[in-house]
Structure 1
């Protein structure tokens, strides 16, 4: 559901804002939190309260089924200008094969986690591409028994320049379903007409909600952590960056570090002639269309019309998802196209994130870590990461890249150590421990 509304006189800025409300939990006995129950309370709040702006657009996702659909909504919201507020309530699980957090969706079960849940790094990757200090995330989550230690170690970090407030609860007793009372407190206060700062809202909500062992997150700026209402080891603020790539944040540019000789991303080619699937050619499992879009993509990219090329590729990806489904060879191909277009647009951060997504998609399809296409995707993600001149984006993308390198070390030794050395050059603890 999308609501467009004008705010009231209490809105803090005149620029329009966007709020994305995501509430998701499995149906049935796997449910740990009644996530969607808080949405009616939030829907009763003026949209301007959700964004702190005079005008607001609210996008609501209640118990979505498909992770690709959720990713599309996140990507669309993240691409909008102005302030973005993301409210997420649901439950976190850990993928034992890749050791990555996932947000469970309506059809998620333990055996289908990697295919039916939203990988947490999909969310963090899209938000990391936004301009710093334009994004706020409010969380009301519960972690299962496997995910809880990962969360306690800082696994829900969302990157530098993103304000984060929230609660992550440990797994409840068996057959107990929690309520999103932390986020409901926000709604209750907003419905009175009060518009306190989010830091004050967080303090009030943390004081009213439990359990005592919950982890309360309060990061209002990259350098200041607001105190939580509770004390003790379980209530320390979570850093804005994941613990694997925590502060300090030096202002100096990224120092060059010797890395293995990784192959650069492949060149854009216009014709659908037989070639590795990581090139911009027609997907091998699908006949070439009557009008091959690749020449138009190439022409737009060569002319510097990178936004036009990216939009055309995104439309073809949407069509591939509609016709062939998430995880299909056709959908993966268009994701590769978008990754290479980002390289041509000299946006190594987006290219790295997209190539990482390609690798994750191929692994989820059952391709082996030693398959040529899987290794090529990770190599290209690593190559683009090395081109990043923004230390904060390098830190934010290092977590997913490190997880991929652990699973896909590649054919040239030293790739994982290269990430370690570059993070040390940034003054950042390495995630290799």
Structure 2
């Protein structure tokens, strides 16, 4: 099904519902498609005009990849709504989304590898892609996700839930996406973070893994040369500070400090869990105190340091830049210790990038921020420019 309206701001939504037929089915994935199809297309994409593509129980992973690739090639905002079940292949131990013909013995050939999806979305401009999932994992995949989490990389918003396998002879329902559709059909249009919380509450997500990753805004300015990491000497340090007064206390009551649990999850390698908890607390702080409040900025910085611990330097850099911009917008001076620390940490994470294209995309925003916040060490802007020139010459290769 394709629904198109003419508009210069067209977005694209791809609805993918897939599950094996027969006794291998863990979730009635396609049951939510009529509810989503009844939602105005512009609501699914957040744009004035929209194209909606529906894939119901597709058979072939190459066909699915082709449709995802075509959708990812569009210039406008892209929203993917995915419901189905996840499995690990026995040979490479990679996560796959099962399709209609998938069986345990044929998963590698009949399922969609999750990293295929991540690779296609990685090519898009950061901040233009949103993925909302309602997934069930089999026992092996659930164990893997509990330890390592699941993600789609820098620049992609990822919201939703992954549930553990249902009891034997039971087929789960995509209750999270059904709740999203019900909220939209009621006429409500909450921001994505609030929609996530409301849908999770309606669906009842006890024991499920909640996903709430927002993509920080990245400013793209003209850049003549490339970029690669440079050295700088203010390493970011995540300490579990006491909870700031405000949203946390109002939501949970006094003594309820989430920082130890977040830090423990991150140190155990459960990075998705840690980031999800922090994102939910940030949402609470935003509602209670506003986006410019110190409470909200605190949780933004926590998420930045969690990205560092997860070795996602690009996301950490962008989040630290967003934190510095928020502090400046709240009238903190450019030489304020916390502003300088945020910029120094953004710079440090930029130095850790091994992807020249990603480094180039972040360099203009970092340079502009450095001009406003030069910091205590001289030559920071010049260091960025030198590295940009170095990578340009390295990328060009020998003549």
Task: Confirm or deny: 8 A CA contact 2:85 2:135 kept in the other structure.
Answer: yes
| CA distance in 2: counterparts of 1:179 and 1:172, whole angstroms | 10
Give the drift of 1:256. Answer: 9.3
For these two proteins, the number of residue pairs brought into alignment is 257
Higher helix share: 2
Unaligned runs of 5+ in 1: 8-13, 258-385, 395-433
Give the drift of 1:160. Answer: 1.1
Structure 1 residues 234-245: aligned runs within 5 Å: 236-238=274-276, 245=311
| CA distance in 1: counterparts of 2:89 and 2:168, whole angstroms | 21
| CA distance in 2: counterparts of 1:134 and 1:19, whole angstroms | 12
1:256-307 per-residue CA deviation (whole Å, 9 max, x = no partner) reads 99xxxxxxxxxxxxxxxxxxxxxxxxxxxxxxxxxxxxxxxxxxxxxxxxxx
Task: Confirm or deny: 8 A CA contact 1:154 1:242 kept in the other structure.
Answer: no
Task: Confirm or deny: 8 A CA contact 2:87 2:98 kept in the other structure.
Answer: yes
Indicate yes or no: 2:160 matched with 1:166: yes
Structure 1 residues 67-78: aligned runs within 5 Å: 67-78=61-72
| CA distance in 1: counterparts of 2:107 and 2:157, whole angstroms | 28
Distance of aligned partners of 1:34 and 1:255 in 2 relative to their CA distance in 1, 3 Å threshold: same
Give the drift of 1:16. Answer: 1.2
Give the drift of 1:156. Answer: 1.8
Task: Confirm or deny: 8 A CA contact 2:131 2:159 kept in the other structure.
Answer: yes
Task: Confirm or deny: 8 A CA contact 2:308 2:349 kept in the other structure.
Answer: no
Task: Confirm or deny: 8 A CA contact 1:92 1:144 kept in the other structure.
Answer: yes
Task: Confirm or deny: 8 A CA contact 1:159 1:241 kept in the other structure.
Answer: no
Task: Give 2:3's aligned residue.
Answer: 3
| CA distance in 2: counterparts of 1:15 and 1:241, whole angstroms | 32
| CA distance in 2: counterparts of 1:201 and 1:66, whole angstroms | 32
Task: Give 1:388's aligned residue.
Answer: 356
Indicate yes or no: 2:186 matched with 1:192: yes
Identify the match of residue 34 of structure 1 among 15, 28, 44: 28
Indicate yes or no: 2:178 matched with 1:178: no
Task: Give 2:290's aligned residue.
Answer: none
Distance of aligned partners of 1:256 and 1:30 in 2 relative to their CA distance in 1, 3 Å threshold: closer
Identify the match of residue 91 of structure 1 among 85, 92, 111: 85
1:85-132 per-residue CA deviation (whole Å, 9 max, x = no partner) reads 011000000112112100000000000000000000010000000000
1:226-280 per-residue CA deviation (whole Å, 9 max, x = no partner) reads 99x99987965448979864353344697699xxxxxxxxxxxxxxxxxxxxxxx
Task: Confirm or deny: 8 A CA contact 2:350 2:359 kept in the other structure.
Answer: yes
Indicate yes or no: 2:46 matched with 1:52: yes
Question: What is the SS of the residue equivalent to 2:69?
Answer: helix
Task: Give 1:22's aligned residue.
Answer: 16
Give the drift of 1:201. Answer: 0.7
Distance of aligned partners of 1:167 and 1:387 in 2 relative to their CA distance in 1, 3 Å threshold: closer
1:189-217 per-residue CA deviation (whole Å, 9 max, x = no partner) reads 11112111111110001111234100111
Give the drift of 1:391. Answer: 4.6
1:39-62 per-residue CA deviation (whole Å, 9 max, x = no partner) reads 000011100110010000001000
| CA distance in 2: counterparts of 1:31 and 1:125, whole angstroms | 27
Indicate yes or no: 2:55 matched with 1:61: yes
| CA distance in 2: counterparts of 1:96 and 1:393, whole angstroms | 37
1:317-345 per-residue CA deviation (whole Å, 9 max, x = no partner) reads xxxxxxxxxxxxxxxxxxxxxxxxxxxxx
Q: TM-score normalised to the size of structure 1?
A: 0.54
| CA distance in 2: counterparts of 1:110 and 1:242, whole angstroms | 36
| CA distance in 1: counterparts of 2:355 and 2:274, whole angstroms | 34
Distance of aligned partners of 1:33 and 1:244 in 2 relative to their CA distance in 1, 3 Å threshold: same
Task: Confirm or deny: 8 A CA contact 1:6 1:47 kept in the other structure.
Answer: no
1:59-98 per-residue CA deviation (whole Å, 9 max, x = no partner) reads 1000000000000000000000110001100000011211
Question: What is the SS of the residue equivalent to 1:36?
Answer: helix
Query: Cα RMSD over matched residues?
Result: 3.2
Question: What is the SS of the residue equivalent to 2:23?
Answer: coil
Question: What is the SS of the residue equivalent to 2:194?
Answer: helix
Task: Confirm or deny: 8 A CA contact 1:24 1:104 kept in the other structure.
Answer: yes
Task: Give 1:81's aligned residue.
Answer: 75
| CA distance in 1: counterparts of 2:361 and 2:91, whole angstroms | 26
Distance of aligned partners of 1:100 and 1:203 in 2 relative to their CA distance in 1, 3 Å threshold: same
| CA distance in 2: counterparts of 1:41 and 1:22, whole angstroms | 13
| CA distance in 2: counterparts of 1:393 and 1:115, whole angstroms | 35
Task: Confirm or deny: 8 A CA contact 1:19 1:57 kept in the other structure.
Answer: yes
Task: Answer with 133-142 or 238-247: which moved more.
Answer: 238-247
Task: Give 2:312's aligned residue.
Answer: 246
Task: Confirm or deny: 8 A CA contact 1:216 1:237 kept in the other structure.
Answer: no
Question: What is the SS of the residue equivalent to 1:178?
Answer: coil
